[in-house]
Amino acid sequence: MAREQRKDVDYFPHDCTHGRKMHIIETKYGNDGYATWFKLLEQLGKANNHYIDASDEMTLMFLTSVFKIDEEKTLSILNDLAKLGAIDKALFDDYKVIFSQKFADSIQDAYRNRKGKIFQYSDILDEIRQKNGQSYVRMTPNDANLTEVIPKVNKSKVKESKVKENKEEYTPNGVVDFPNQPPAHKIDFDKLLSFFNSNRGLLPEVKKMSDVRKKRIQLLEKQYGKESIQTVIQKTRDSPFLQGENKENWTASFDWIFKPANFLKILEDNYARKQNIRGNNSSATDAEHKQSAINAVNALFGVK
């Protein structure tokens, strides 16, 4: 029986000079910050597939014992490392998973002669979804009740598949996919930013689409379909609770809306008003509503 391939390393490159990120961490936390960062890299090197799930209480307790600091300071340092981009911010914010792309790139040579390749960002997401019991299936129009806002696909632009129509393909993460499915849509983030600000209601205006925001939106679009982005923005605009009508006068922010758990809740109408007053008082026809929705979705994806 073949020996199982290793998914860890015994060493990693340690540069003698450090950039601004390390300077900020060391200035703020002193030697605790410096030691925590390099002890964390050691743990990433030893970790299976080079990422750590800090959402697990025992894992977090172990990390604090390795760092020899308390849990509060550990989380504070990790949060700052995520903000600075030393570890992946989207993975840490959404799942409390610690992963550093720069670290993964630095140990590529160790995998040169191995059959198994080093884990990539998408591989980590697949494992997280499996661990959480989440299926990765693109929502159909019937599932999302969004048939009104899906523009027709020009079949002449879609490359014909050699696989028979409707033949299911089972991917490594258990996903049911169709080989002849059209490619993923490219998001025009400038138009998305403009659309959000035009439909934000009382929410704070968004000034910039950061890389973290773009990555998070791309993942949500891939999971739920492009029409879901427009739908969630509009549902947020029409939700009194998310617009500040609550005991704390709290309003949702752009980043809060596009966290996976919150996004799904909004999509499923967890924050919707009991009676859609705006819809009932509208004098627009159904055809006008339909065309408006189609235009909005097309605008987000640069379709003229």
User: Residue 82 has what pLDDT?
Assistant: 92
Q: How far apart are CA 127 and CA 236, in angstroms?
A: 30
What percent of the chain has pLDDT above 90? 29
pLDDT by residue (tens digit) across 279-295? 444 444 555 555 665 66
- For helices 57-67 and 31-46, what crossing angle results, to 10°? 130
pLDDT by residue (tens digit) across 45-75? 998 889 999 888 899 899 999 999 999 999 9
User: Residue 303 has what pLDDT?
Assistant: 55
Give the CA angle between residues 68, 73, 79 to the nearest 5°.
120
User: Residue 295 has what pLDDT?
Assistant: 63
Mean pLDDT of 236-254: 91
- Mean of the per-residue pLDDT values for the chain? 76
Mean pLDDT of 228-252: 91
User: Residue 177 has what pLDDT?
Assistant: 38
pLDDT by residue (tens digit) across 143-177? 333 333 333 444 444 444 444 344 333 333 333 33
Whole-prediction pTM value?
0.49
Between 138 and 73, name the one with better pLDDT.
73
Q: How far apart are CA 153 and CA 294, in angstroms?
A: 12
The pLDDT-based confidence of 139 (bands split at 50, 70, 90) is very low
- Find the DSSP H helices in 47-175: 57-67, 71-84, 89-95, 101-106, 121-131, 141-144
Task: Give me the sign of the Cα torsion angle 95, 100, 105, 107.
Answer: negative
